[in-house]
Amino acid sequence: MSVEQPHKILLAHGGGGRLTDQLIRQHILPKLKNDTIAELADAAKLNLSSPQVCFSTDSYVVKPLFFNGGDIGKLAVCGTINDLAVSGAKPVALSLSLIIEEGLEINLLDKILSSAATAARDNNVLIVAGDTKVVEAGAADKIFINTAGIGERLPGVDLGLDKVAVGDKVLLSGTIGDHGMTIISQREDIKFQTQIKSDCAALAELTCSILENTKGVKFMRDPTRGGLASTLNEIVTGSGRAIEINETDIPANLPVRAAAEMLGFDVLNIANEGKFVAIVSPDSAEQALNICKKHPLGKDAAIIGRVIEALKAPLVELITKIGGRRIVQMPYGRELPRIC
């Protein structure tokens, strides 16, 4: 017996009954289109060729759900792919769990699922497991998504902060601040938002290409929340070495710089969703840079600095445009817009 589908998500969609079944069969499975998930088993069976796997999970609560350059669905897939990619793995499979607020328009859910499915397909990753929960209005903000992912570690690749050495180069795969400034400007309804686009993208193809073709990559991380400043601080803290970066070498799009300037943000602290930082030995740095530049997601890549000996404490230092020096701190949370 078929039940007429409402236009909005009801609590009953998460109740495990007919509405849940219809939601899964009519809205979720057709988009994900793969045999593993179509079995609707309690767990997905995977055949992996490598004995070494990487496993990661992340939850996504972005507001607004749709932004210039992406949406929460694409973000949830790309974000977890990127966590696997920068760990030196080739992503294989993801799970996708939805926590939906009662009242969400089903056509919005369709859009989000379509874009998650497209992102997975484009990156040869299967979404093989999932879950749907519905909470009453007010208990969540429209939709929250969790993805977890499994990737096969590339043979011979073993990244770690313990390998970071003095003299290594700091490679950044492209412009910074695009994602964060897009979200901030859309949230604040600021007029220049049309010029800024999130960099939300999956990096696995590019990172695999670098790792398969060069030997000198020591460590990689994607500078998401907290931006480049956070990632570099994590690297110095974890490695015990200091890092020196050159302001003039750090790529950033002009509208992003202008927006950050206007709102009183430091572009170094702004989130990215399609960039990575790699610490590379000096003899491999140029080769890694060239591979980046040939890939659409790495065309603006640059060597932005180097690893140096830490004096008193491992710090990130910035050599500014005028040749001055200052410290780049771990950002301390949400910065408030300045007032004049």
Partner 1 sequence: MLERIHKAQILMDKACQSLARQINIMEVCGTHTVSIFRSGIASTMPARMKLLSGPGCPVCVTPLGYINLVLELAKKKNVLIATYGDMVRVPGSNGSLEKQNNNNVRIVLSSEDALQLAKDNPDKVIVFVAVGFETTTPATAVAVSEADELGIDNFCILSGHKRVIPAMQALLSDKNNRIDAFLCPGHVTVIIGSDAYHPIVSQFAKPCVVAGFEPMQIIQGLGEISRQLIEQKAEVKSVYEAVVTQSGNTTAQKVIESCFEPEDGYWRGLGKIEKSTYKLRPEYSRFDTCKRFGVEEKPVDDTSGCRCGEVLCGLIEPPQCALFGKKCSPDTPVGPCMVSSEGACAAWFKYRPKGKQAQ
Binding site for partner 1 (CB under 8 A): 188, 264, 266, 312, 317-327, 329, 332-333, 335-340
Supply the DSSP string of 142-173, one letter for each residue.
Answer: SEEEEEEEEEEEPTT----GGG--TT-EEEE-
Minimum distance from CB of 271 to partner 1 (Å)? Answer: 18
Yes or no: say if 151 and 84 are a contact pair by the CB < 8 Å rule. Answer: yes
Shorter beta-carbon distance to partner 1: residue 152 or 266: 266
Token match 């859309």: residue? 186
Question: Which residues lie closer than 8 Å to 88 by C-beta, 6 or more apart?
Answer: 54, 153, 154, 157, 158, 159, 207, 211, 220
Minimum distance from CB of 192 to partner 1 (Å)? Answer: 13
CA-nearest of 320, 307, 86 to 208 is 86
Minimum distance from CB of 326 to partner 1 (Å)? Answer: 4
3-state secondary structure of 25: helix
Supply the DSSP string of 240-300, one letter for each residue.
Answer: S-EEEEEGGG----HHHHHHHHHHT--GGGS--SS--EEEE-HHHHHHHHHHHHHSGGGTT
The pair of three-digit structure tokens given for residue 53, joined into one six-digit string: 């796997």
Minimum distance from CB of 311 to partner 1 (Å)? Answer: 9
Shorter beta-carbon distance to partner 1: residue 1 or 336: 336
Q: How many CA atoms lie within 13 A of 132 on its CB side?
A: 25
Shorter beta-carbon distance to partner 1: residue 108 or 243: 243
Shorter beta-carbon distance to partner 1: residue 152 or 335: 335
Shorter beta-carbon distance to partner 1: residue 53 or 319: 319
Minimum distance from CB of 226 to partner 1 (Å)? Answer: 14
Shorter beta-carbon distance to partner 1: residue 85 or 315: 315
Minimum distance from CB of 332 to partner 1 (Å)? Answer: 5
Minimum distance from CB of 206 to partner 1 (Å)? Answer: 31
Edge-to-edge strand order for the sheet containing 53-60? 53-60, 143-153, 89-101, 126-135
Q: Which residues are 149's β-sheet partners?
A: 56, 94
Shorter beta-carbon distance to partner 1: residue 296 or 324: 324
